[in-house]
Structure 1
């Protein structure tokens, strides 16, 4: 009976299943000169490839391309700012989906292109309108200071010390009766 073939297949399947999330988690175009990240509905891109600054103090532009957009000018654009060693741009309120970020430096070279999945939701920019508050008012009766008071149909009275003594007598009587019954039952019966 040969069991090596099914065992080998299950090992290969398990290895492939374990490696798949790692392959999907790796950033696309890892050799790209840009790094793209997302926090909630904000997409950020950083690079160090754009070292030439223009008269406006920017290093280039980044474009956020949605599905179906293929040209740099079709996407949402942001200006790269920072220093000659590190430049960055951010896109706020990005709706969930898969996007491609492309960075073009001032000298016209493409620093890199990378895909990213945004799972956060965009934060609303308008404030909600106020809703009218109900005008019905409810008055609460004061709660008893010592817990719930009992009685027959509203005849509850608090006798303070007398109530405590009476309750204590009932508890002691109940305990005494229980002990008497259990001791009586434990003795052997004589006929």
Structure 2
């Protein structure tokens, strides 16, 4: 069953590709006596004609025949609407496949017949967004509380507060080191006497 569906889809694709150059290079459908123009957009099929005169109340009907349907009455019928210059009909929610559009004017004459291929690749699929309940969410671990005195700064173990005597002693050591270094470098720069 799956294999036959794949062959059917690939056959429709090949037919569409083979017909594409013909439709791009062919003159308008009216030149062939069709009298109608058929187009698709997603899952919608529309037909336009200017061949059906009005009898005052209607222009006629258009029918969308699925594969295997051969009679106008078997298809999905839509009344033509518009003006005396242009009449049209639109079918929505059309499934993928090959269809034939037939337009019959209110006076009984056939304005034209044309085949059309509807592809599902252009039809967006709408999916429901799942609802998330609060009971399905995992609980997060609790964070530790912040320190009561704020953040203590410093390098390594330098978080202790030193007194004035310690600061003065450290300053004296640094000063004596700088003086001793200067004396040594100056003494070394002088030439020695013999």
TM-score w.r.t. the length of structure 1 is: 0.55
SS at match of 1:69: coil
Aligned pairs for 1:1-191 (under 5 A) are 21-23=20-22, 30=29, 31=32, 32-55=34-57, 58-120=58-120, 133=133, 135-140=135-140, 162=155
Q: 1:81 to 1:20 in 2, by over 3 A?
A: closer
Larger Rg: 2
The 1-side partners of 2:133 and 2:27 are apart by 52
For residues 68 and 25 of structure 2, what CA distance do their matches in structure 1 show?
23
- Provide the rounded CA distance (Å) in 2 between the counterparts of 1:28 and 1:117: 19
Distance, in Å, in 2 between the alignment partners of 1:79 and 1:45 is 11
Output the TM-score relative to the length of structure 2: 0.54
**Cα–Cα, structure 1 residues 33 and 20, in superposed 2: closer, same or farther, change >3 Å?**
closer
Q: CA RMSD in A?
A: 3.8
Q: Which has a greater percent of helix? A: 2
Count of residues in Structure 1 that have an aligned counterpart in Structure 2:
130
**Residues 95, 122 of structure 1: 8 Å contact kept:** no
User: Which residue in the other structure is 2:185 paired with?
Assistant: none
**Which ranges in structure 1 are unaligned for 5 or more consecutive residues?**
1-18, 144-157, 164-191
* Deviation string, structure 1 residues 155-181 (Cα, Å, up to 9, x no partner): xxx765638xxxxxxxxxxxxxxxxxx
CA deviations on 1:81-137 (whole Å, 9 max, x unpaired) are 000001110000000000000000111111100000000376789x96976746233
Classify 1:21/1:51 alpha carbon distance in 2 versus 1 (closer, same or farther; 3 Å). closer
Structure 2: segments with no counterpart, 5+ residues? 1-17, 144-150, 157-194
Q: 1:100 to 1:28 in 2, by over 3 A?
A: farther
Per-residue deviation at 1:46? 0.5
